[in-house]
Chain A
Amino acid sequence: MRKLIYILICSPLLVFSQDTTVIHLMSRMDGRHTLENASQTNFWGYGYTSEDSITLPGPLLEIPKGDSVYLHFYNDSPENHTIHLHGLDASQANDGVPGTSFSVHDNDSATYRFLANHEGSYLYHCHVATTQHLAMGMYGMIVVADEDMRLGEDESLTYSKSKSYLFSDMDRGWNRDPLNPGPFNQYEASYFMVNGMSGSMLLDSLKEQIYIETVDTLRLNIANVGYEKVTVDIPVEVQSRIVCSDGRMLPDVLMNNELELFPGERYTLLLSSTAGYSGGINVLYTNLSTNEQNGENFIPITIESPEGVKEAKPSIDCFIQDGVLQFNCQERERFSLVDMQGRLVLNGYTEAGLNQISLEGRTRGAYILTIGRVVVKVVY
C-alpha cells in the first residue's frame, strides 16, 4: 500500500520547471534482462518509479544545465541501496556512500539534491557493496546539457543532435547466482554492453544506431561504468572533436578518432562529416589486469545528405561462391567485415576491380561488410 501511494505521488516522470528538475527513481533486485542469445539473466537496477519496473542500464537522466535537481529515490528491494552521483560533486550528505552519507533501507525512500552546474556526462550508481551492486546492474547515465545546444561559449561547438552511450560489462556467473558471486577480486567480465545491448542486438536496434545528415553536428555523450578499459574507435571518415571530459571542458579541443575510457570516465565529443558515410564505431573492451582485449561491440553510423540534395544511396553487388566473398569496386577503398556480434573479422583496403576474400574456416552465418560508405549484409 505504501508503495502504491509512493508511485501515485511520484507521477509524472520528470518535472521540468525553469530551474528545477525533479526525478523519481526506484530500485529493485528482481530484474530479468534479455541477452544477445535470447536467454535471460538476473539483474538489479533502477527504473522510473511511475513505470514500476527497472531497466539495464537505469534510465538516461537528461538535465538542463544550471538546474537544481531533486532526485527522489524509493527502494523497493530487500537490501539497502544508495544513489552515488558520480562526478556531480554533490555534498557529503548527498554523495550516496554508506558510512559517510546514508543508506536507503528496504521499502524506504530518500531525496538527493544537487546542482547541475557543468554540462557533460555523468553516472549514477549504487555505492552499497559497490563491487557487487554495480556489477549486478545498479547504474545509469546522466547528461547535463545547455538549452542553447552548445558546449561552452564557442559558437563552433554548437550541435544539432545528441546521442548517449553507456559502456558496461557483466560477469554472467555473478548475475546467474548473485548470492554466491565468489571473491570480489575475481570478477571476470564475460558479456559486454552498449546501453545494455551487445553484438547483433546493437546492429538490429534502430534506437541505438547513429543517423545524422551532413549538415548535422552530433553531440556524443559516452561513459564507462564497467570494470574494463573501453577503447572507442571512430572511423576516420567522421570528424571527431573531443571537447569535454568528466563534466569539464578540455583546455584544447582534441581532434582524435580513438580514445580510451577507464572505469568511471566520461567524454563528450562532437561528430560531423561533410560527406555521406556508412559504417560504425568499434568499441573494444580490455581487461585491466591481463591487458587482454576480451570484448567488442559495433555502433552503426549512417550520415546522409539532407532531403532534396540526397545522393543516390550507393550499393554494391556481392556474393559468396565456394567460400569466397566476391565484389567489384570502382576504386581502392577501406573495408571491414564484422560478425553479427559486432566482432571485427577482417579489415583492410579493396582493389579497383574484382575483389575476392576467402571466408574459409570462418563461422557460417551473417556478416556486415562495409566498403567505404556502403554497408551490406552477407550470409555465408
Chain B
Amino acid sequence: MARSKKGMIRLLIFISFSLSLSAQRDTVYLNSGYESYQSDSLLYLRFNQSEESQPYSALSKLSSGETLDLTIINRDTESHTIGFQDAEYSLTDTLTISTSLADGVHILEVLGDEGLYLGAKMLVYAGDLSYATYSWQLSDLQKVINDDLKDRVLDSTWTYQPDVFSINGRMYPNTLNDSLAYVEEQVGDTIRIVVGNTGLMEHALHFHGYHVDILWDSEDQMTNWIKDTFPLKKGQTKLLQLVPHQAGVFPVHDHNLIVVTNNGLYPGGMLTRLNISE
C-alpha cells in the first residue's frame, strides 16, 4: 500500500513536472505589404498567423505554466531586431524564441522606426485558456510618417498627429469582420479579453452596456478594479473579464473621440462591438 502511494506521488510529480515543461509551439510570419486606405495605400509590417501577407496582427496564446516556443519567419525584404521581455533578437530569415512566460499579456515587437510606425507588434497572452478569449491590439499611426517610411528610412521629424486608428490592424467597420475583435457570446458566459496598446499615444477604452473586471494590469494600477472606461498607456496591457448580465449589441471604443475616425471621418478607427445573445 505504502509502495503504491509512493508510486502515485512519483507519477503526480512526473506529470506536474512534464506539464511545467510543456511548450506552446507557435509560428508567426513577419510580412510587409500595402493595404488600401481611403483612395490611397498604407505600408504595413505585421506579424501574421499565416504565410499570406495581411495587415492584421497575430496573437500568440499559451496556457499558464507553459513555455513559449515561438518561431518567427521573416518574409520581409529587410532584417530586423525583435524585442521581447527585455531581450533583443536578431531576425534575418528565421528566429525561434524559447522562454518561460509569467501569466499576463506581453508585447513582442520589431524595434526601431519600422516597429513604431508600421505596426510591427503583436500580443502574447499567457494564462487560462479555458474561456472564450478575444484580443484587441490597439494601434495608432500617422499617414505622412507611413509615407516617409516607404523607403524604410525616416527622413523627417514629425509632430505626431495620428490619423489611422485600428484594433488588430483593422479599422471600424472592418473590426466587425475580425473574430478576435468582434465579441459574440451569450448572457452569463465568462469572456476574457486580452488588450494592449501598441501605439504611440495613450488610449481610453469605453464599454457600453457593461462593466468589466480588470484581472491583470501590466502597470498594476487597476488590478481587480471594475470599470467601464480605463486607460491604456503606451505599451500597457490588461486582461479583462466580462460576464454579460444582459443581451444586446453594444459598442466598445476609445473615448478620446479623435480615435473613432478613419482619416478624419466618423465613425471609424478604434471601435468594435459586443454582440451578446440570450
Contacts and interface: CB of A to CB of B under 8 A. Distances in A.
Nearest to B159: A290
B158 to A, nearest CB: 11
A129 B209 contact: no
Contacts of B261: 131, 183-185
Given A92-B249, A251-B224, A183 B209 contact: no
Contact of B231 (A97, A247, A262, A290): A262
Interface in B211-264: 211, 224-231, 245-251, 254-261, 263-264
Contacts, number: 135
B89 interface: no
A184 B202 contact: no
Contacts of B206: 86, 264
- Chain A facing B: main interface SS: loop
A260 interface: yes
B203 to A, nearest CB: 8
Given A89-B210, A91-B246, A185-B162, A265 B204 contact: yes
20 contacts: A89-B245, A91-B248, A92-B248, A97-B251, A130-B257, A134-B257, A227-B258, A246-B227, A246-B228, A262-B202, A262-B230, A262-B256, A264-B204, A265-B231, A288-B204, A289-B140, A289-B160, A289-B161, A289-B201, A290-B160
A263 B248 contact: no
A18 interface: no
Nearest to B263: A183
Given A229-B231, A246-B230, A264-B206, 16 more contacts: A89-B246, A95-B208, A130-B260, A131-B257, A135-B257, A183-B261, A184-B257, A184-B258, A185-B258, A227-B256, A251-B225, A262-B255, A263-B229, A264-B229, A264-B255, A288-B256
Please indicate which of the listed interface residues A130, A186, A288 has the most CB atoms of chain B within 10 Å of its own CB. Answer: A288
Contacts of B230: 246, 262, 265
A184 B229 CA distance: 21
A187 interface: yes
B178 interface: no
B112 to A, nearest CB: 20
Contacts of A91: 209, 246, 248
A330 interface: no
A185 B160 CA distance: 12
Nearest to A262: B204
A248 B211 contact: yes
Interface of B: 140, 159-163, 165, 201-204, 206, 208-211, 224-231, 245-251, 254-261, 263-267, 273
Contact of A291 (B202, B256, B260): B202
A129 to B, nearest CB: 6
B92 to A, nearest CB: 35
A245 interface: yes
The majority secondary structure among interface residues of chain B is loop
B218 to A, nearest CB: 16
A154 B210 CA distance: 25
Interface of A: 84, 86-87, 89-92, 95, 97, 100, 129-132, 134-135, 182-187, 227-229, 245-248, 250-251, 260, 262-266, 288-291
Contacts of A250: 225
Given A87-B229, A89-B228, A129-B266, A263 B211 contact: no
The 10 closest A-B pairs by CB, nearest first: A183-B264, A92-B248, A264-B255, A262-B204, A264-B229, A248-B226, A263-B255, A262-B231, A131-B257, A184-B261
B93 to A, nearest CB: 37
A130 B267 CA distance: 8
Given A260-B231, A262-B204, A263-B204, A186 B255 contact: no
Contacts of A97: 208, 250-251
A264 B229 CA distance: 6
Nearest to A135: B257
A92 B250 contact: yes
A19 to B, nearest CB: 20
Contacts of A263: 204, 229, 254-257
Given A185-B264, A264-B206, A246 B226 contact: yes
Nearest to A287: B201
A131 B256 CA distance: 9
B250 A95 contact: yes
Nearest to B265: A184
A245 B259 CA distance: 23
A90 B273 CA distance: 15
A288 B224 CA distance: 25
Contacts of A291: 201-202
Nearest to A134: B257
